[in-house]
Structure 1
Amino acid sequence: MARFLVARVKVSWTALLALAHFAYLLVGATIFQILEREAESNNRNHFQLEKLNFLSNYTCLDGPALEQFVQVILDAWEKGVNPSGNSTNPSNWDFSSSFFFAGTVVTTIGYGNLSPSTVCGQVFCVFYALCGIPLNIAFLNQLGKCLTIHLGRLERGVVSVVPHKQTMEALTVSLFFITGSLLFLVVPPLLFSYVEGWTFGEGFYFAFITLSTIGFGDYVVGTDPEKQYISLYRSLAGVWIIFALAWLALILNMGARVVEHAIGLTQPGFSKQEEDEEVSSSRLEDSSKV
């Protein structure tokens, strides 16, 4: 009877989470459509109007010729060449930019504004990602463990001084979250805003989209041809991404544990089912060793 109840809890929570997941996607799709569709239509109409004005001002060109030139611009952009400026624009493949690109490959951010255009580069990118992504995951896990150890030491040190254990643990975790937020989500956007000429909102948007590994590519540091960047600028941005990803992964892991703990409090069978699964898996491992 108990096993039947546990199985029923497991199925119900799986169905509930699946329903919540798809409902979340539907709500997001609806809101994005409401917010962005009209702006896209306005931008498209504005672009078409600008093309008509351009043709009217330069009568030597016709529609097909202009469309061909637009395609040339799009092809250049897809290959990482900024259409604005001239041939003296900074290279996308100097060492600093290449280091930044390598970081976006192994972290699976993939902004999409730059990619290898040669066959050799594409083949190397495939094998580089195959080896680099697992290496990056292992490094982030190890870095997260180190952060967890230091956080645990900080908690024990605080608890040894103050007797209220749960309160001080909560304060320690909050301090860790606030400090990390300042180091990785507040100060970097300020620097990006200053260097790139963005607003703080745009800098914060870039930081979050980057650290969540979404990587739209609409905002990327060090790509403005009219600005002179220091040589290590994008390399430092790559280092920031690595350490910030480790911090964010730890925060998300803590959040997942809080959710699991809350589910365990409301549904005791859920925690019991997890314990049974852990015991069963450990038994299977022991039997396989024998």
Structure 2
Amino acid sequence: MCSGKTCQVILLALGYIIYLLAGAAVFQMLEHEAENTTKTETQRHKLAFLTNYTCLTQDALEQLVKVITEAVKQGIYPLGNESISKHSNWDFSSSIFFAGTVVTTIGYGTLAPRTAGGQIFCVFYALFGIPLNVIVLGYVGKSLSLWCGKLGKCLYKRGIQKRRAKILTILFFLVTGILVFLGLPPIVFTRMEGWNYREGVYYAFITLSTIGFGDYVGPTPTEITHPIVLWSLFGLYLDWPGLPFCLTY
């Protein structure tokens, strides 16, 4: 027989593994067929392109696709000569956007340093920036905890039971955070980026949870830098740290 603590660790590990396996199974069921459909459509378009342009060989087409794929990986979207020449992923506003994704550990993956100097600097920048970000999050969280306490005391003084006042305070911050950072921003994103509301909610959650897949970022960093950096920073500093501290105030 194992000790109580050992059994807890084993059960926790088994639960974690089962959770991962269950998630993998659901994702596979939901996404695998769509992936195969995309593969089939892509192959069909390639064959149709070769049929319409007989002067282009298979190898030439594959080389073109390779060049375009590499460009997209580096954040360059070759949809026209004008867009390539005018837009820069590393103007100052776009660099602010990137710096914000580094220290908040969002890491979309659509923008990354390619030079040796940029990569080395990124390592040291993140090495100091991420702990600084955690310190700021903790400080803001404690401030929110004080606000929770003041609101709870205010409700208590108005004749509401202490337990109920605490529950109402937590619900207030929870609902306000969800509305301000997950409910309303997608409405703006639908107009800025042409997404539907579901995609906007998905993007908001993936960003604020710092998962940062990078599948939804926007057409160009320059167009979204200021509103999205401000929203994501305020969301991280005001929303996510607030609830845990409110629960313990």
TM-score, normalisation: structure 2: 0.91
Equivalent residue, structure 2, for 1:178: 175
Equivalent residue, structure 1, for 2:216: 219
TM-fit CA distance, 1:92: 1.6
Deviations 1:207-248 (A, max 9, x none): 101111111111003528xxx94xxx4123112212211321
Deviations 1:179-202 (A, max 9, x none): 111111111111111111110111
**Residue 221 of structure 1 contacts residue 234 of structure 1 at CA under 8 Å; is this kept in 2?**
no
Q: Does 1:10 align with 2:1?
A: no
Equivalent residue, structure 1, for 2:229: 238
Equivalent residue, structure 2, for 1:71: 66
Matched AA of 2:26: I
- What is the aligned residue count? 244
**Residue 162 of structure 1 contacts residue 168 of structure 1 at CA under 8 Å; is this kept in 2?**
no
Distance in 1 of aligned mates of 2:149 and 2:87? 46
Distance in 1 of aligned mates of 2:226 and 2:14? 42
User: Gaps spanning 5+ residues in structure 2: where?
Assistant: none
Moved more, 237-246 or 100-109: 237-246
Q: Does 1:208 align with 2:205?
A: yes
Larger Rg: 1
Which secondary structure state, in structure 2, belongs to the residue aligned with residue 92 of structure 1? coil
The 3 A distance-change label for structure 1 pair 159 and 81 is same
* 1:14-93 equivalent positions in 2, closer than 5 A: 14-86=9-81, 87-93=84-90
Which secondary structure state, in structure 2, belongs to the residue aligned with residue 59 of structure 1? coil
Distance in 2 of aligned mates of 1:151 and 1:168? 10
Distance in 1 of aligned mates of 2:93 and 2:194? 20
Give the alignment partner of residue 96 of structure 1, picking from 89, 93, 96.
Answer: 93
The 3 A distance-change label for structure 1 pair 32 and 237 is same
TM-fit CA distance, 1:33: 0.5
**Residue 101 of structure 2 contacts residue 108 of structure 2 at CA under 8 Å; is this kept in 1?**
yes
TM-fit CA distance, 1:252: 5.2
The 3 A distance-change label for structure 1 pair 154 and 253 is closer
Two-structure CA RMSD over aligned residues (Å): 1.9
**Residue 222 of structure 1 contacts residue 234 of structure 1 at CA under 8 Å; is this kept in 2?**
no
The 3 A distance-change label for structure 1 pair 96 and 222 is farther
Distance in 1 of aligned mates of 2:212 and 2:88? 21
TM-fit CA distance, 1:253: 6.2
User: Gaps spanning 5+ residues in structure 1: where?
Assistant: 1-6, 258-290
